[in-house]
Amino acid sequence: MTLTPGTHAPAFTLPATGGKDISLDGLKGRKVVLYFYPKDDTSGCTLEAQNFQALRPEFQGTDTVIVGVSPDSLKSHDKFRAKYGLSFPLASDEAKTMLEAYGVWVEKSMYGRKYMGVERTTVLIDREGVVAQVWNKVKVPGHAEEVLAAAKAL
């Protein structure tokens, strides 16, 4: 499934860092940046998390919540957050239910080998739970700034 702006974001409830579940319903009334990434503590994913963290005060100023989502475990997320001083929640979707609902759990290919994995994607959701913008196959440099600009305009 491919998400398109103007459609309702799929509902979800996932365990997240900080010992709490995070859900779309619980975030209603605020703008939400869901950024889907393949794996904790890898170079691209670390840079992306650090970029969102650096801009977090500006996102907060626009009443926008940042949530990182990957299939990694909560234990892995906790280590990743602590190592890099991340203060926004990371949600764990080990069952890949949400990843599939958002269309980011896809077949990938590396060196001719096919496998399933997360396609780096960011979804901006408005205060009513409607998809405002989708960035597919994200390239990390400059991405967090682009998402912030869209959140400010929303």
Which one of the listed residues 33, 45, 118, 148 is annotated catalytic?
45
Structure tokens, 87 = 């203060």
pLDDT tens profile 38-63: 999 999 999 999 999 999 999 999 99
pLDDT above 70: residue 20: yes
pLDDT tens profile 5-14: 999 999 999 9
Percentage with pLDDT > 90 across the chain: 94
Average pLDDT, the chain: 95
- Per-residue pLDDT, 1: 63
- Per-residue pLDDT, 54: 97
pLDDT above 90: residue 2: no
Q: Which string of DSSP letters, residue by residue, matches 91-129?
A: EE-TT-HHHHHTT-EEEEEETTEEEEEE--EEEEE-TTS
Per DSSP, the three-state class of 4 is coil
Q: Place 18 in a pLDDT band, splitting at 50, 70 and 90.
A: confident
pLDDT tens profile 121-136: 999 999 999 999 999 9
DSSP summary character for residue 11: P
For the question of residue 45 being annotated catalytic, the response is yes
More confident residue, 42 or 2: 42
- Per-residue pLDDT, 110: 84
